[in-house]
Amino acid sequence: MDGEQTVLVTGGSGFLGGWCLVELLQRGYRARTTVRDLAREAEVRANVGSQVEVGDRLTVLAADLNADRGWAEAADGCDYVLHVASPFPPAQPKDPDALIVPARDGTLRVLRASLGAGVRRVVVTSSVAAVRNAGPDANSRGRELTEADWTDPDNPQLTPYTRSKTIAERAAWDHMRAQGAEDRLVTVQPGAIIGPVLGDDRSYSLQAVERMLTGRMPGLPRLGFSFIDVRDVASLEVGAMTAADAAGQRLIAAASFLWLSDVAAILRERLGPDARKVPRRRVPDVLVRLLALFDPEVRSVVGELGQETTYSVENARRRVGWVPRPIEETIVDCARSLLGQRMPTAAASAS
């Protein structure tokens, strides 16, 4: 690999964005990243520097998904782009456009700047949310979902977040196809991302583990997710930049499906006394639905109660040679990382 190759990562202050920077620097690339506010530059450097020597190989620039300014400069001279930044609030907004517009328009801004700069490939971070909700008539029960499955963004039952990820990914493919550049795009659909934290930012998935450890989750609702290690997602994204067979592909990044009760059992078994606050009792669905009437955070997940969805990662294995680590290892590493530092209560989204 040419050590002079430069990769832009959007949203370097976020959980996944930070680990993408770590992965790139570990592989010898020069990295460039965007944040909304340059006041966070020192934080980004410290977070990434906790895992890898940064030196002069990391540049931090200001750019906002809601504005054109800064994107052409950020992409100029880059060989590849990893578009990671996207809003992910703890509670769904009343106006869906609060998520849909920055997700869609921000993605298009990044793609236009990338094509204008002549980058070789753009990897866009989507979500399994853009795969799993195919609509009431979809024949998806009882089988693993694949990259051929698409969420229907017109489904009225979907959350604004799910619609935003689907609409943004669709817009990316439509744009690149219209430019005759479909083979310069890869999209990655991660499951619920957890793993060791680099800083204070908390994704929704991280909060679930954190709340178990701190006793702020008094019981276990009948919710489950296909968790995935943040380091494995970063590895897939970096690998997908250059893998010849990944061109023009969607790549699901998800490990085994686990109920929250499964996660709690792993924490108790592997952490011993450190898991003393992890709940044991189950929360009935009816109680969760009642809480959803008053708590917008609960309301955003109530539609997932009792839903078990599994995914095939064969496409990522075959085209990139990607194999995720055991999810039990990820859960333990995540918990130990959270226990090792102050745990802020406020969630933060990727910048």
Cα–Cα distance, 20 to 16 (Å, whole number): 6
Cα–Cα distance, 203 to 221 (Å, whole number): 19
| Token reading at 71 | 């994107």
Cβ neighbour number for residue 84 with a 10 Å cutoff:
28
Residue 62 parent element (H or E): strand 58-62
Cα–Cα distance, 119 to 76 (Å, whole number): 8
CA angle 81, 83, 86 (to 5 degrees): 165
Instruction: Name every residue whose Cβ is closer than 8 Å to that of residue 85 and which is 6 or more positions away in sequence.
Output: 10, 11, 14, 17, 34, 65, 106, 350, 351
C-alpha separations of 268 from 17, 222, 238, 261, 347 in Å: 30, 18, 34, 11, 25
Are the beta carbons of 31 and 25 closer than 8 angstroms?
Answer: yes
Cα–Cα distance, 199 to 192 (Å, whole number): 18
Instruction: Name every residue whose Cβ is closer than 8 Å to that of residue 340 and which is 6 or more positions away in sequence.
Output: none
Cα–Cα distance, 229 to 190 (Å, whole number): 9
Tell me which of 104, 165, 184, 211 is the catalytic residue. 165
Amino acid at 210: E
Cβ neighbour number for residue 313 with a 10 Å cutoff:
24
Amino acid at 234: A
94 catalytically annotated:
no
Q: Catalytic positions, please?
A: 165
